[in-house]
Amino acid sequence: MEKYSKQQKEIATMIDSEDFLDKWKDWNWQLKHSIRDIDTFEKLLGISFEPSEKEKLEETLEKFPLSITPYYLSLIDSDDFRNDPIFLQAFPSPEELTVSDEELEDPLSEDTDSPVEGITHRYPDRVLFHISNVCSMYCRHCTRKRKVGDIDCIPGKEKILKGIEYIRNTPQIRDVLLSGGDPLMLSDDYLDWILSEISSIPHVEVIRIGSRMPVVLPYRITDELVEVLKKHHPVWLNTHFNHPREVTFSSRQALQKLADGGIPLGNQTVLLAGVNDCQRIIKKLVHKLVQNRVRPYYLYQCDLSEGLSHFRTPIGKGIEIMENLIGHTSGFAVPTYVIDAPHGGGKIPVMPNYIISWSTNRVILRNYEGVITTYKEPESYKQIYCDRNCEKCDLQLKLDDATEYKGIGIAKLLSDHDDTTSLVPEDNARMERRA
């Protein structure tokens, strides 16, 4: 049976005095009554801001708009809202207008790495497909503030088909990530059409969807939506829980529907100052996630997007959190801590150091307790020279894909088939002097 908090009942009654039990769980009703101004926010939560503060907040909204679903608003502790993790993620702060020199409109160079509108092709075998500019809530830490909120739109079929055509004509793409905004803001029929088109491409092996709906609007996860997704397996879904308080009765129901539909679930958490920069909070979060069949996937260092300085933590805080997870809880409950490098460098894993030293035949390691141990390298190992001629390889590969693999980056330096011995930055002064 659905559970409603006292605050949910009060908010729903103030929004719509008719029977809220029939409407609260309607995701379209939630969207229609999203809170988009400070006066409504104050009224529904029974709080008030000083005139001077309100003036600064209004100024913030002129650049970065406000939108909160009634459901997510109902999770805010109105008695201590200024320290509340839900409030901090959903409500604007004048600090968003402070843009430091290193912060960028498009910090990950997604637009630069876009061969056609809507597609970001950064990694060799996968693309990000931007199919929505609309979200059910505007997260204050969003890395795509340049797109979401400023221009609310869902691309028409003509634009979507251009992206699909690029995927169809690029055979190395085996993995397509549908992103936005939020892809689940699309209607079931439109999403079904997009999934059908992508699924029909022979070289696409898996489709992923990135959505925060299970967190901020769990009622969007309907039985009908799950049936649509099930038609196009393998479909994976990554969501975005940042704090254990977001794992509510309603969100657990949404996750259960998805998991029962055979959809593998992952979670991407962003490390946010004042919200979850505590090892106890993150550990509680990952435990709640795995209880609900969600695999913690990434712990992100906050991006260098405009106006996010107040959310960013030192990388040392992330390392400290990882030290308190690895070895201290189940391995599958430990996310990978990553920095999404500026200018399109991609996700770089950052981990505590467990290798203390290394010689020709021994590796000195330490574990999570600080125990130092030795691993002896095998003396009998015979190096295999790899010329990337897979068809004549003696190893029992027998893979159905005999495409010759060519390493790039560090993998290229490690390979035997290429004579490259170093990677030199484009503007290397020493090389310019040689020239």
Could you give the residue numbers annotated as active site?
A: 122-123, 126, 135, 139, 142, 144, 303, 340, 347
Spatial distance between the Cα atoms of 271 and 319, rounded to a whole number of angstroms:
11
CB 127 within 8 A of CB 177: yes
Spatial distance between the Cα atoms of 3 and 319, rounded to a whole number of angstroms:
38
The tokens for 194 are 């997009």
Tell if the pTM clears 0.75, that is, is over it: yes
Report residue 269's pLDDT band, with 50, 70 and 90 as the boundaries. Answer: very high
Burial of 73 (0-12, 13-18, 19+ CB in 10 A): buried
Spatial distance between the Cα atoms of 284 and 404, rounded to a whole number of angstroms:
45
The tokens for 118 are 């809507």
- Please tell me the predicted confidence (pLDDT) of residue 21: 66
Q: Among residues 292, 31, 380, 405, which one has the least CA distance to residue 182?
A: 31
The tokens for 393 are 């390889």
- Model confidence over 2-38: pLDDT tens digits? 567 888 878 887 887 566 667 899 999 999 999 999 9
Mean pLDDT value across the chain: 89
Spatial distance between the Cα atoms of 293 and 295, rounded to a whole number of angstroms:
6
Q: Among residues 48, 55, 140, 51, which one has the least CA distance to residue 92?
A: 140
The tokens for 254 are 């949404």
Sorted by sequence, the CB contacts under 8 Å of residue 286 that are 6+ apart come out as 296, 325, 329, 333, 334, 335
For the chain, give every residue range classified as CATH 3.20.20.70: 119-349
- Model confidence over 31-78: pLDDT tens digits? 999 999 999 999 999 999 999 999 999 999 988 899 999 999 999 999
CATH superfamily name and code, 119-349: Aldolase class I (3.20.20.70)
**Residue numbers belonging to the annotated binding site:** 135, 139, 142
- Model confidence over 395-413: pLDDT tens digits? 666 666 655 556 778 877 7
Q: In what order do the strands lie in the sheet with 372-376?
A: 355-358, 362-366, 372-376
Helix %, strand %, coil % of the chain (to 5): 35, 15, 45
Amino acid at position 144, single letter: R
Residue matched to tokens 């793409």: 173
Report residue 146's pLDDT band, with 50, 70 and 90 as the boundaries. Answer: low
- Is the per-residue pLDDT at 151 higher than 60? no
**Residue numbers belonging to the annotated binding site for [4Fe-4S] cluster:** 135, 139, 142
Q: Cα–chain-centroid distance for residue 4?
A: 29
